[in-house]
Amino acid sequence: MEFLFGALQAMAIVALSVACAVPMGGYLASAFSGKPTCLDRALDPVERAISWALGGIDGYDMDWKEYAISMILTNAILWAFSFAVLCALGMTPDLAFHTASSFTTNTDQQHYAGDTFSPLGQALVITALMFFSAATGLASAFAVIRGLKAADGKVGNFFKDAERGLVRVLLPLSVIFALILAACGVPQSFGGTLEVKAVTGAVQSIPLGPVASLEAIKMIGTNGGGYYGANSAHPYENPSPLTNVLELFFTLLIPLALPYTFGIMIGNRRQGLLLMAVMLAIFVPMSLIMMYGESSNPYLPAAVQQASGYLEGKEARFSAYESAFYLATCTYVQCGAASCSITSMMPWAVVGAMFGMMAQCVPGGIGAGLDIMLIYVLLSVFIAGLMVGRTPEFLGKKVEPAEMKLIALIIIVHPILVLTPTALTALISTAHNITLNPGARGFAEIMYEFLSASANNGSGMAGLKNTTLYFNVLSGLVMLLGRYVPLVAALAVAGSLSGKRPIEATPGTLPTDNLTFAAFLLGIIIIVGAITFLPALSLGPLAEIFALR
């Protein structure tokens, strides 16, 4: 009964998110196309001021190379500034490298306890990078959409897209959500610490700060890094079941809206709804599997009551099923936030969380998830075309070897970045006592670290001793490559297609907006994930699942 109630609650959150994603998708399409929106009167002056400050650099359309260079240089400047500030605030160079890389890439993997950082650092570096990294992801998605649609070789202007993402999407939503969180008890201040007398009689000092503002963009921008070390398990970040529901809703909103935005911008809303349906066809069942996996632990004595699920590592104010759904949402949306201890989760939940990070697109992170989904669409079109003897084309444009080489790069770079450092670390783990847990769980902890880094997710299993020079540098490099190689390659695919004039559909054209293609696309996403990661999974959480029997 408890599982049924938890499942119904989770499906209600998904249904609410989907219902709001449709109008949100329409708003995003208008905002990034320069069409009138309901917020123009308030936001136009802000956008004009930023445009003036940029000196008009946002006033012309770029090809994909200009767009990619602008994106990389802007992010590099932000990274260098953040690295310098973090070092000035007392971080070691290797930890500063990891932290700057983490928050610049929208990963937000933390090898430090969030509450040990000063309020100034949290606001000046962490929160600021959360906004800019999310804006970068949004910008890349719209550049790819324009490339698929255009015929003049242009994909838009990075500075204009980032400006629109910040001013018209992220800031308004974050202000609204931060006010709601503050009203629900989340701190928002720059003042000191709170002295609390614990039950044992000891006095505890709890740091306060701009928590609500960070928490808002943390979820809306699919960032995931917490103000406190316990992340959303901390009562000052996520104090009640109400804030828990709101955090899940705002996390899902934009990633689910973007496929519908894509449909509007290409003039085929059915295509956008189909992509959203494919995302949900994986996300919803896997969420339920993860929730059911937390219903009990067969290793516990029969006398132990587990009516509310397996509660080790969970917060008392959230059930085991709410915690599992929170983990599912934040790994499938590449947010990385957590309201429980992931290393305490049962194997089914760990497998489910890993699969979300393997796929990266169901629905994926803000902007980047849609990029990867469209890459899978092009791959599916190419494979289906070869299977039935039709010319592979999408939106009237032929998918040729030039595009397929780039698509292959995007598909293989993720497993390479995950499996190579995982194998290297597993070889030295025994000698250096890297993992807290032995065997399959220890291997899963190692793999999860690099999978989370490469997928720009940021969550982690606590059993890994990752606060070392080795992990700071290696995970930092994985995050940078896992972020920018796929983004630049996706822009290159869009740029290649943007120079092609669309051809008229013929009876031999493969339709991509029906259930047949949806099922084929679904199979491609699952098969590619299984082929690349199944052997490694069999050494970790899958081995644990079979050991439970």
> pTM for the complete prediction?
0.95
339 φ, ψ (degrees, to nearest 5): -110, 15
**DSSP secondary structure letter of residue 340:** B
Letter string b/e over residues 222-254, b meaning 16 or more CB atoms within 10 A of that residue's CB: bbbbbbbebbbbbbbbbbeeebbbbbbbbbbbb
The reported pLDDT for the residue numbered 253 is: 98
The arithmetic mean of pLDDT across residues 283-292, rounded, is 96
Task: Say if 453 falls within a structural domain.
Answer: yes
If pLDDT is split at 50, 70 and 90, which confidence band does 120 have?
confident
Return the sign of the alpha-carbon dihedral for residues 190, 330, 531, 540: positive
Q: pLDDT tens digits, residue range 307-324?
A: 778 888 898 889 899 999
Q: Please give the distance of CA 1 from its chain centroid, rounded to a whole number.
A: 32
Q: Are strands 393-394 and 193-197 parallel, antiparallel or unpaired?
A: unpaired
Task: Say if 471 falls within a structural domain.
Answer: yes
How does the average pLDDT of the chain come out, rounded? 93
Question: DSSP letters of 34-81?
Answer: T---TTHHHHHHHHHHHHHHTTTTTSS-B-HHHHHHHHHHHHHHHHHH
Q: pLDDT tens digits, residue range 439-490?
A: 899 999 999 999 999 999 999 998 888 889 999 999 999 999 999 999 999 9
Task: Say if 392 falls within a structural domain.
Answer: yes
Ranges 43-47, 148-152, 169-173, most confident: 169-173
The arithmetic mean of pLDDT across residues 265-286, rounded, is 97
Distance from C-alpha of 85 to C-alpha of 125, rounded to nearest angstrom: 8
The reported pLDDT for the residue numbered 188 is: 92
Integer-rounded Cα Rg, in Å, for the chain is: 23
Task: Say if 468 falls within a structural domain.
Answer: yes
The reported pLDDT for the residue numbered 33 is: 94
The reported pLDDT for the residue numbered 193 is: 82
Q: Which of 1-15, 406-420, 423-437 has the lowest mean pLDDT?
A: 423-437
The arithmetic mean of pLDDT across residues 514-531, rounded, is 92
If pLDDT is split at 50, 70 and 90, which confidence band does 353 have?
very high
The arithmetic mean of pLDDT across residues 98-119, rounded, is 92
Q: pLDDT tens digits, residue range 48-58?
A: 999 999 888 98
- Let me know: does 215 contact 227? Beta carbons within 8 Å: yes
Q: pLDDT tens digits, residue range 121-140?
A: 888 899 999 999 999 999 99
Number of compact structural domains in the chain:
1
Task: Say if 527 falls within a structural domain.
Answer: yes
316 φ, ψ (degrees, to nearest 5): -65, -25
- Write the single-letter amino acid at 223: N
Omega of the bond leading into 363 within 30 degrees of 0 (cis): yes
Q: pLDDT tens digits, residue range 231-254?
A: 999 999 999 999 999 999 999 999
How much of the chain, in percent, has pLDDT values that exceed 90? Answer: 77
Task: Say if 435 falls within a structural domain.
Answer: yes
pLDDT reading at 530 higher than 80: no
Task: Say if 23 falls within a structural domain.
Answer: no
Please give the residue range of the domain that contains residue 379: 370-548
